[in-house]
Amino acid sequence: MNTHPYGITDLNVYLHRMQKSILDKMFFMDKIFEPVDHILDFGCANGELIKALHAFFGEYHYAGYDLSEEMIEAARINMPEGTFYLDWDEIHIPFERSLLNISSTIHEVYSYGTEESVAQFWQRVFGSGFRYVTIRDMMFSDLHNTPVSPSELAAVRSNPEFRQHLADYEQIWGPITRNRDLVHYLLKYSYTQNWDREVRENYFSLSLERFLSLIPNDYEITYYDSFTLPYTAWQIRRDFGLELKTPTHIKIILKKREQNA
């Protein structure tokens, strides 16, 4: 039985997509220098990222947290060396010596959560005292939200293979008039499996500028990158003849400041 709280109908397809970017999700491991003992993966799914990290960096203690009982059960089988939690309040690791990793989760928190659960999420992220917080997710900068290029929109509309997907998208999100609308569609049009879920999920539920404003003063940015996934750019070039140059993702490392700094 599917017990995932975010309405994923085909978990195998969902997990396969997540696993394709495992190497990129490990981006932080050669960029953290302060000592940490534990790595906690927020939204750990079936533990595949933790399993990959453990294979390369076995000296850390690994833990995972997820809302799905099915995912947690799968993670415990997949990665028996880790510790996995359904209840945040049951997590007992030294947060001050831990790294909290959040990969492809923030947009889901906003898409499916309430105002209260979103506030609780950020309190857990920044109010628990983690030594490091690492984030990789989809975000769109307001600076890039210019009027859509007529030629690019025409290229998207001219492909009959995805015409129904485009119609579904515009029925839910409205006509594509801004660059944000177009890029949002281009990130999701190819997900034919779980389409009913994907078309409704807000990939850009939190703008880059809004996210940066949420970082408290007791954390400093030690690494930042904005980028577009190469495979996604290749798909869009293949299907529509377009070059996607607008950054769609960020990777960021936040470090807790010393109290006497």
pLDDT in tens, 159-181: 999 999 999 999 999 999 999 99
* Residue 249 DSSP SS3: strand
- In angstroms, the CA 176 to CA 184 distance is 10
DSSP label of 80: T
Domain boundaries, the chain: 11-142+203-256
DSSP label of 260: T
Name which of 138, 106, 139, 130 is nearest 216 in CA terms: 130
> Residue 202 in contact with residue 112, Cβ under 8 Å?
no
Q: What is the pLDDT of residue 5?
A: 53
CATH placement of domain 11-142+203-256: 3.40.50.150
pLDDT above 70 for 20: no
pTM of the model: 0.90
Name which of 56, 66, 54, 224 is nearest 135 in CA terms: 224
Q: What is the pLDDT of residue 162?
A: 96
pLDDT tens-place string over residues 114-144: 999 999 999 999 999 999 999 999 999 999 9
> Where does the pLDDT of residue 43 fall: very low under 50, low under 70, confident under 90, or very high at 90 and above?
very high
Helices (H), 143-255: 150-157, 163-173, 179-188, 195-200, 208-214, 230-240
